[in-house]
Structure 1
């Protein structure tokens, strides 16, 4: 369900069934499968009132000779955050980086048959201990919840996950690290059959694992004209390049927009006391070197490309298996020179 403006002919039923199949819901005994699940389509045209602001920005209405890049206004009001830290090579907080790696490995051992009794549903969580200076010290707790066949015992599942999933990531683990596998003792009923809902329920796992602020807007189901998504990518891009330039060890960027207005109404930098220059200087560098109008972001990060499917699992940021445009550090030297 939702709204869209397009001239394309889209076979929604086929796309949904193929996606469900790729995830792994292929057998009726899972309680949900690609061939027999019911798909109800409720797609409408975008509100004409919203289109007024998105299709033509306030600045363009006031100055009709503005360039085309001004013509796209923000699709909604709101604030977006981007964050980066040098504590991992992907410029991500250690807990969320490890949680994504564990989730990816969990999926791999299911799909390649190493642990054929695993079923598609699963998630991970990492609790990290930091020292007084704010540096990652050790992994305190790892939680892995994963759907499985009913005949598998808790002891076998725990043993197998430690051997085939967790063992690959021993760095920062010690003898005191707690490993919790399916803490309830059983996870047979899962997926949409066990728990379902609409989008917007994974905004923290999609970003920084709670380590940084979040404006509340989800990414799922939104294209690049929606600043909830594109501006969050731009904020991450800026933060990562600032940290890569050496201007700060940690950096959080906050942007705010008004519907129908192309330029952000707020730009804020927080380097958490790790900056080598003032935050005001960094704001000036951002204003002078990054086009943060929606169309400018789309152009800067080449967001009209079909790579969004890959963001649906394992995070939007800090990925090692794919390099998204907002993960580039091609502006680091420019920032360094500007300072």
Structure 2
């Protein structure tokens, strides 16, 4: 990418149909793992006007009412009445329950290195982790700011701006000079109102919400920062009554705002035996520690997995010319310090026991909105900067 550019990233609120599907899928993963830490599951959703299609393939010693769980997620997102009502929408299901011996082996085997070596990747996957010095969370500025505005919109709706639809999109454009973010060029909001139209008062209220959210931190809006609301086509109604949703369709929002590479696979709706999920967390952990250690200004870690093998075929590091050490040397240090075999990642991050420890709030469910990385509001194991000293030595 050019060091001098304007880059735009988007985020959405929890009521966006794609994000509703992600939340339902991850709420199901939480519920199954909460009752059975050995569970294996893939859960996917499709959502449209008045109907939810919920598909799950799982092996779990658990009793979970998935349709009721889906209704609770949709209602919490704001769809308790109106054109789309979580309480009375139709839910079609396709569940395939596999035998219990298809579950993951007992968790005590994670303490045995030979057993870890026998737990191979079930799929081919290229996963990427990224980190940079744009923000205190080592995330790219555009996606970090877009998430911040989306959070502010949802908070405003929950705290009195009742005519605001649960479904909204935020886009933040950031100017980069010399490879570093220098100013906020503009913000664009796409919002709908329940039973109301956008007028001057609502525009000013939305403008204030966006600018206040962007004013937190080292780089705030200036007098030239543009704020637009519904600048594209008219957005009179939002949610599933307007556009369909699908699990795994917002990968850019889930990761780095499209400023860095990401796997084409969804993160949500998969138990941690799926290496495209667990591996993405491990790659982020490695990249963040490299940058936090001061060994690079920005860093991408790539892991390549082949089905039927435990060790990744390839581990590579790219620092885009910003590294204090050569990329190959950094890759060597990371490979010596961290074990990227799938079962080792699960053990290191506690990915199977975290849902039970997190209680009703869930561990995977909160990740389904506002991204899986750079979450200062969550205590995520892959965000820990716990190998900085070892990387420096």
Answer whether contact 2:128 2:284 (CA < 8 A) is retained.
yes
Q: Calculate the TM-score normalised by the size of structure 1.
A: 0.90
Question: Do the aligned partners of residues 312 and 18 (structure 1) sit closer, same or farther apart at CA in structure 2, a change above 3 Å counting?
Answer: same
- Aligned-partner Cα distance in 2 for 1:302–1:211: 29
CA displacement at 1:186 relative to structure 2: 3.9
**Residues 1:47 and 1:232: Cα distance change in structure 2 (over 3 Å):** farther
Instruction: Provide the rounded CA distance (Å) in 1 between the counterparts of 2:61 and 2:321.
Output: 49
Equivalent of 1:124, from 164, 170, 173? 170
Q: Does 1:205 align with 2:253?
A: yes
Q: Answer yes or no: is 1:32 the counterpart of 2:84.
A: yes
Correspondence 1:291-330 to 2 at 5 A: 291-304=339-352, 305-306=354-355, 307-330=363-386
Structure 1 position 46, deviation (Å): 5.9
1:185, distance to aligned residue in structure 2 (A): 6.4
* Mapped contact 2:122–2:275 kept (Cα < 8 A): yes
Which residue does the alignment assign to 1:134? 179
Out of 136, 139, 153, the residue aligned to residue 92 of structure 1 is 139
**2:210 maps to which residue?**
165
User: TM-score, normalization: structure 2?
Assistant: 0.78
Deviation at 1:71, TM superposition (A): 2.5
Partner SS, residue 92 of structure 2: coil
Q: Superposed, which structure 2 residues align to 1:214-293 within 5 Å?
A: 214-293=262-341
Match of 1:7 among 35, 43, 61: 61
Q: Which has the higher contact order (CA 8 A, sep 6+)?
A: 2
Aligned residues: 323
Matched, 1:151 2:207: no
Q: Is the 8 A contact 1:137 1:172 kept in 2?
A: no
The runs of 5 or more residues in structure 1 that have no matched partner are 56-64
Higher share of residues assigned strand: 2
Q: Is residue 117–residue 152 contact of structure 1 (8 Å, CA) maintained in 2?
A: no
User: Separation in 1 of the partners of 2:77 and 2:154?
Assistant: 9
Q: Secondary structure at the match of 1:295?
A: helix
SS at 1:192 equivalent: helix
SS in 2 for 1:205: helix
Could you tell me how far apart the structure 1 residues matched to 2:91 and 2:194 are?
A: 26
User: The residue matched to 2:128 in structure 1 has which SS?
Assistant: strand
Q: Residues of 1 paired with 2:179 and 2:99: CA distance?
A: 46
Q: Do structure 1's residue 334 and structure 2's residue 390 form an aligned pair?
A: yes
Match of 1:59 in 2: none
* Cα offset, 1:66, TM superposition: 6.2
- The question of 1:43 aligning with 2:95 is answered yes
Secondary structure in 2 aligned to 1:183? coil
Counterpart-to-counterpart distance in 1, 2:192 and 2:379: 30
Which whole-Å CA distance do the structure 1 matches of 2:211 and 2:58 have between them? 42
Following the alignment from structure 2 to structure 1, what is the Cα–Cα distance between the partners of residues 180 and 210? Answer: 25
Output the CA distance in 1 between the equivalents of 2:174 and 2:209.
22
